Structure 1
Amino acid sequence: MDLEHTAEEKEFRARLRSWLARVLPALPPKPSPDDWPARRAYDLGWQRRLHDAGYGEVHWDASPTTRLIFLEETEIAGAPYVGANFVGLLHAGPTIAAEGTPEQRARWLGPILRGEEVWCQGFSEPDAGSDLAALRTRAHRDGDTYVVTGSKIWTSHAEVADWCELLVRTDPDAPRHRGISWLALPMDAPGITVRPLRTLAGSAEFAEVFLDEVRVPVAHRVGAEHDGWRVTMVTLSFERGTAFVGEVVACRRVLTELAREARANGRWDDPGLRRRLGTLNAEFRALWRLTQWNVSEAEASSRGVPGVGGSVFKLRYSHARQRLYDTAAEVLGPDALDLDRPWTLDRLSALSYTIAAGTSQIQRNIVAERILGLPKGR
């Protein structure tokens, strides 16, 4: 793993840092967290700024190391997160770039990069739990279209999405992992019903999606028919390998803020608290190095796809994030019950990280089988 940056990469960092310093002070205020149409417009407006400044294509047309620099610098500067379009920019888009046909890449990548279309993810189902291969949403072929019936749950930003990366079962008689296909579903197609879900933190960025004989063109299938499980592994490699990069930088910033708060309110005198903060600092420094290793591995790949090291990262990061915000509650004391204080809502959302993007149990199985070479459990 080469952690040294080239002269060109250093120049890119300096140029990006200068541009962020000029642009960020002029941004409009962020909309209310509950106003999803306004949040969509805000997030897409930021993506359009990036595109017009020449940074829109950094997610796919740049090297993994350049993408890492971009995510690090934008997080350090406090730039807007990808927000409502995180599925398009970090999951669906990279998958289409790696697996799509030239026509598919021409149709979908440009609108994502220009901030014109939002994607959501239709993977999880109510009865499948963590066993993604147990999905039941069916798609039978009717000429040049698939007719899709079923339901999805925890579909991020479905209420404001234009497209959905959708997993369907196209061969019900095939072994579980071999009868699945990856489709691009237009969210305005007849037969789709979206029902928002409210989280513990009070937000409603997830939804249930019901599909009643929804017709999807066969041309919207990414990868071969019945080969969707392999394509899905590409999607999940991006989700677990590089999509959390900005959040690691954010957690390191929170650690600095926690230390400052503890000194101000007198809790810094507790040696146990200082020890926990120090341990977390070491943990997130190690996670940052692991991220660099994963990016180096992706850079060595012919298609820029991260490897199974993303599961190691996802497993460690999910639990480290929970410990970080538990420590934040300790620093805040009784104020940790005030939802208007910093970090309190983040603590609630941290509970989901051991489930989102594959549960910790799933990640342990992947590490055991694909890295350690242990036999599969019965």
Structure 2
Amino acid sequence: MKSSVEEFRNEVRAWLKEHLRGRFAELKGAGGPGREHEAFAERLAWERHMAAHGWTCVGWPEEYGGRGASLAEQVAFHEEYALADAPARVNHIGEQLLGPTLIAYGTQEQKRRFLPKIVAVEELWCQGYSEPDAGSDLANVRTRAELREGAWAVDGQKTWTSLAHESQWCFVVARTEPGSRRHAGLSYLLVPMQQPGVEVRPITQLTGTSEFNEVFFDGARTDAAHVVGEVGDGWRIAMATLGFERGVSTLGQQVGFRRELEALIAMARRNGTFDDPLIRDRLTRSWIGLETMRATALRTMDGVTAGAPGPEASIGKIFWATWHRELGELAMEVCGGSSMYGGGMYRGGVTSAGGTPAATAEPYELDDWQRLFLFSRADTIYAGSNEIQRNIIAERVLGLPREARA
């Protein structure tokens, strides 16, 4: 007799097989890391199609529009989605980060206002955490917000803000207590993006694309009630959001990793580099690392499921980020000389006297392996750098003394 999880997995697989065809068939594999610009409107339409059939927010409680799927069922959903080579999600930040945060800490009015729009993929969200002087050290936030005539007025700058140019809302960590330092005096605000006082500037990455952005707030307004948790309690809420980010969707991410590794092994066999014992050893270690990664992720899911993500989730983040960056480096070794074709990110040799690309230089077209190598350099930085993850593990998991700070 089939278990409920097996039945759920079969239901997900059958639905994807039936619906990833016709106008959506061409979206298979679209929008992965470094390619978030691909077919964005079409991927948005696909995700709204999923919403119409009840396949968004599957892990949310039914009362908030989800399916109330168990942890095992959520793992099955994300794995089957990745195995079907379905397009990268456009609503990940709203569905996997903000939504669970509101369910755990938001007011009833906030839940009524925002959750249905996330389920229906009618409003997209971005994350306003990092700043030029507060990237890995988030407690150094300088963006400030002040209550004026029943609304928060926000001033400051955020950077590395994924998909800010496509989003209607941003959850912003801002300093609401003048003179406060570090973790104290921060609040977690929900700020509309499409208003005067908000400017979004794309940041061109090594891959030539612009998923990340700078966001400037100059007197941007949001309702006084749009603060999650208590005023001044933003650090705790922000850390909970980061915990949710380490959730079950990472299991689907690992299916993508496995596909990359299998393709790399196949290429190594074709071009003969598999016969090099050093390359073969590194490929074997990558396979072992992937198996360890999955086991680690499953072991640390309990805190996420309970609605109280623990610092143990940092173990999984540092593990997969380092593994994936090393896979990009290994891919360049397997590709050999072909990995250097083109001489860099710009073609035509049009450079300024200082060696930087001139305005007329054209972006260089990367192949999949070059894109993997370049984009994976960011894996150990975004969503919490390796250095900060090590501090969290040392202090909050192992109970070691806090790092000395000036």
Work out the CA distance in 1 between the residues paired with 2:193 and 2:18: 37
Task: State whether structure 2 residue 11 is matched by structure 1 residue 15.
Answer: yes
Distance 1:37 1:366, change over 3 A: closer
What is the deviation of 1:333?
1.4
Task: State whether structure 2 residue 36 is matched by structure 1 residue 53.
Answer: no
Q: Which amino acid aligns with 2:144?
A: R
Task: State whether structure 2 residue 151 is matched by structure 1 residue 154.
Answer: no
Task: State whether structure 2 residue 333 is matched by structure 1 residue 337.
Answer: no
Work out the CA distance in 2 between the residues paired with 1:159 and 1:35: 15
Q: Which amino acid aligns with 1:314?
A: K
Distance 1:101 1:202, change over 3 A: same
Contact 1:59 1:94 in 2 (8 A): no
Q: Which amino acid aligns with 1:25?
A: R
Work out the CA distance in 2 between the residues paired with 1:38 and 1:333: 28
List aligned pairs for 1:228-267, cutoff 5 A. Answer: 228-267=234-273
Contact 2:78 2:248 in 1 (8 A): no
Aligned to 1:308: 311
> What RMSD, in angstroms, separates the aligned Cα atoms of the two structures?
2.2
Give the percent of matched residue pairs that are identical in Structure 1 and Structure 2: 40
Work out the CA distance in 1 between the residues paired with 2:50 and 2:380: 31
Aligned to 1:177: 183
Contact 1:117 1:162 in 2 (8 A): yes
Task: State whether structure 2 residue 21 is matched by structure 1 residue 25.
Answer: yes
Q: Which amino acid aligns with 1:146?
A: W
What is the deviation of 1:292?
1.0
What is the deviation of 1:236?
0.6
Provide the secondary structure at the position in 2 that maps to 1:57.
Answer: coil
Aligned to 1:3: none
Contact 2:144 2:154 in 1 (8 A): yes
Q: Structure 1 length as normaliser, TM-score?
A: 0.92
Select between 171-180 and 247-256 the one with higher mean Cα deviation. Answer: 171-180
Contact 1:138 1:168 in 2 (8 A): yes
Work out the CA distance in 1 between the residues paired with 2:383 and 2:162: 12
Task: State whether structure 2 residue 132 is matched by structure 1 residue 130.
Answer: no
String of CA shifts for 1:301-320, please: whole Å, max 9, x gaps. Answer: 2x2x4322210011111111
List aligned pairs for 1:89-104, cutoff 5 A. Answer: 89-104=95-110
Which structure shows the higher helix fraction? 1
Work out the CA distance in 2 between the residues paired with 1:324 and 1:36: 20
Distance 1:36 1:281, change over 3 A: closer
Provide the secondary structure at the position in 2 that maps to 1:376.
Answer: coil
Aligned to 1:322: 325
Aligned to 1:351: 377
Structure 1 gap segments, 5+ residues each: 1-5
Provide the secondary structure at the position in 1 that maps to 2:82.
Answer: helix
How many residue pairs get aligned? The number is 370
1:364 counterpart (386, 390, 398):
390
String of CA shifts for 1:210-258, please: whole Å, max 9, x gaps. Answer: 1111111011111111111000011110123445332211111111111
Distance 1:298 1:36, change over 3 A: closer
Provide the secondary structure at the position in 1 that maps to 2:20.
Answer: helix
1:199 counterpart (199, 202, 205):
205
What is the deviation of 1:37?
8.1
What is the deviation of 1:269?
1.0
Contact 1:37 1:160 in 2 (8 A): no
String of CA shifts for 1:300-353, please: whole Å, max 9, x gaps. Answer: x2x2x4322210011111111011111111121122235543221011010001
Work out the CA distance in 1 between the residues paired with 2:323 and 2:157: 33
Distance 1:309 1:164, change over 3 A: same
